[in-house]
Amino acid sequence: MRRTAAVWAGKATGALSRLSGRGGGTTLPGDVARAIDPTVLRKLTGDLTEGSIVITGTNGKTTTARLLTSIFEGMGKRVVSNRAGANLIFGATAAALRSAGPDGRLRADWGVFEIDEASLPRAVEEIQPRIAIVLNLFRDQLDRYGELEKIAKTIEAALESIPEGAQAVLNADDPRVGEIGLALARTPLWFGIEDPEVAMRKLPHAADARTCPKCGASLRFSAVYLGHEGVYECPNGDFARPAPGVAATHIVLDGFDSVAMNIGETRLELPVGGLYNAYNALAAFAAGMVLGVDGQYMAERMHGFKAAFGRQEKMDFRGRHLVLVLSKNPAGFNETLRTAVDMAGATHFILGLNDRKADGTDVSWIWDVDFEQLAGKAEVVVPAGTRAHDLAVRLKYAGVEARPPQTEPGRALDDLISVTPEGATAHT
């Protein structure tokens, strides 16, 4: 009774906020429904015929969720998933509400939920997932998250409480995630990259999990793949990267166009580039393996995958090829720059920095981004966005010659086009 009322009220709120033009009403229906029945999410996800997967981590949640959704949908399953940016428990509730019928029942097979790190304990308790994926733990925008250490403890507690028979799927290459997983009573399934060919020689500035959780010594890395992700060990021998049960080998990166890898016997090629997407594919693949999904089938589904909107997009504009990439934190930004400069040979850039509410109002994290990578390689850099001036200062310190800052996106684009030859590619 109460659940039906909650579903109705939530759905009505969603419809109303869409009508009144207040955006898509992404989480408000969740608020309303939970106020009427605080257990509504637990009840709705209990209707799922197959169960749920929760995905957490700083970067890659949306892409990993979409890969899994695509895999399930290709098997004819009905999937409920929350929209990008609605990572709190209210967003997950709103997603379940949208798929619920007028009788208050959820008619779907799988729930694939991306969940903010801090919301994981509650999500695990209410959703009772069959699989919990932890992708990585990077220092995010400083005003949005507390210390990594606190977040790690929160995730550890959540993973300890996943249902019996459920499986934690964790990134072995991230020392923080390694620390979490090694402390668990039940053995997680580890995934990681095993390919020295794509490793960097040293840790970038933004690497922020460099010390041993046991003794505090600096970790020794024999390979660094992305941010602080790599093959690590404590020189005192009390902590080391767990051996991955699911590993990506023979990786071939082609700029922003594609990344290919072997996972066991399966050759997989993703039509979006960057090593971060190799990790996302690996995480989704590992989860599929836990569920017994055929590897070759997963590779075929992933091959036809389209990048999540706004995260990576290509378009032609006035005779120039534009590549748009979204980065939210130093680790993501560094990998994007590295992909652009080293692998795609990019020379023309608009670098945008915004501080609107959704983006995070503290922009000091740009000092952790290695803009030095651009020095001597980028020919044209246009700082843009509401905080274009902060970015211009950062670029100056990095030794990157930049054009005047532009706070209007249209003007930034005009400026870039004016100095980018026709037929050339620019990155923004």
**By C-beta, is 236 or 418 nearer to Zn ion?**
236
**By C-beta, is 239 or 371 nearer to Zn ion?**
239
**By C-beta, is 172 or 282 nearer to Zn ion?**
172
Minimum CB–partner distance for residue 247 and Zn ion (Å): 24
Cα 190-289-278 angle, rounded to 5 deg: 60
Q: With 0-12 CB in 10 A as exposed, 13-18 as middle and 19+ as buried, what is 116?
A: buried
Count the residues in the chain. Answer: 428
Q: Going residue by residue from 95 to 124, which x/- string records binding to Zn ion, judged by CB under 5 A?
A: ------------------------------
Residue numbers 193-232 binding Zn ion by CB under 5 A: 212, 214-215, 217
DSSP letter assigned to residue 289: H
Q: Going residue by residue from 42 to 81, which x/- string records binding to Zn ion, judged by CB under 5 A?
A: ----------------------------------------
Minimum CB–partner distance for residue 209 and Zn ion (Å): 13
**By C-beta, is 212 or 398 nearer to Zn ion?**
212
**Which pairing describes strands 258-263 and 246-254: parallel, antiparallel, or unpaired?**
antiparallel
**By C-beta, is 147 or 238 nearer to Zn ion?**
238
Minimum CB–partner distance for residue 231 and Zn ion (Å): 16
Q: For residue 132, give the 3-state DSSP assignment.
A: strand
Minimum CB–partner distance for residue 235 and Zn ion (Å): 7
Q: Going residue by residue from 262 to 301, which x/- string records binding to Zn ion, judged by CB under 5 A?
A: ----------------------------------------
Minimum CB–partner distance for residue 241 and Zn ion (Å): 13
How many residues at the interface with Zn ion, by CB under 5 A? 8
Q: Rounded CA gap, 181 and 175, in Å?
A: 10
Is 193 in contact with 259 (CB distance < 8 Å)?
A: no
Residue numbers 232-251 binding Zn ion by CB under 5 A: 234, 236, 238-239
Tokens of 338: 């590295």
- CA neighbor of 323 nearest in space, from 308, 333, 313: 313
Is 167 in contact with 131 (CB distance < 8 Å)?
A: yes
User: In 292-359, at which residue ranges do the beta strands (DSSP E only) sit?
Assistant: 312-317, 320-325, 348-352
Is 106 in contact with 99 (CB distance < 8 Å)?
A: yes
Rg (CA), the chain: 22
Binding interface with Zn ion (CB under 5 A): 212, 214-215, 217, 234, 236, 238-239
